[in-house]
Structure 1
């Protein structure tokens, strides 16, 4: 099928009237949409809670371990010149 034939077929398809939509379809779509929206809201809430928990855990770890402080020396330097 070459390009003019594809274009003609596409025009024929677009010129046809769309098939009728079943009346019960609207209620089903609204129900599914509400469920998807609730699931996304719960997922976003869980992601934010996880982010907050990870931040709190990191802050608590950083305050207790203090990785920015140099660890104390385990040996004393030699004392020369006394």
Structure 2
């Protein structure tokens, strides 16, 4: 397709009438967008709630298990030098 054919095709496309847009298209788009925003907001709140619950569970476990404390020795050291 050379340049003049492309220009003619572009003119034909631009001279056509615009397609008919459904009258409720804007309202439908606004409704769907609002639903998406609500779902996203709920998902973010659930994520924050889950992170908070995991943090609380970790803190409770750490306070109960105390992983930073060295466990007591299971074997007594040998008695030498008596």
TM-score range, shorter chain: 0.7 to 0.9
Which 10-residue stretch deviates more, 55-64 or 16-25? 16-25
Match runs of 1:36-51 below 5 Å: 36-51=36-51
Instruction: Give TM-score, length-normalised by structure 2.
Output: 0.77
Relative distance call for 1:14 and 1:53 in structure 2 (3 A) is farther
Q: Distance between the aligned counterparts of 1:69 and 1:80, measured in 2?
A: 28
- Mark the structure with the bigger radius of gyration: 2
Structure 1 stretches of at least 4 aligned residues deviating more than 6 Å after TM superposition: none
Structure 1 match to 2:81 = 81
For residues 27 and 55 of structure 1, the distance between their equivalents in structure 2, rounded to whole angstroms, comes to 42
Aligned residues: 77
1:60 equivalent in structure 2: 60
The alignment's C-alpha RMSD in Å is 2.5
Cα distance change on mapping 1:21 and 1:65 into 2, 3 Å = same
Instruction: Name the CA shift for 1:19/1:59 in 2 (closer, same or farther; >3 Å).
Output: same
> Aligned equivalents of 1:56 and 1:27: distance in 2?
44
TM-aligned CA distance change 1:14 to 1:60, over 3 Å: farther
1:31 maps to which residue? 31
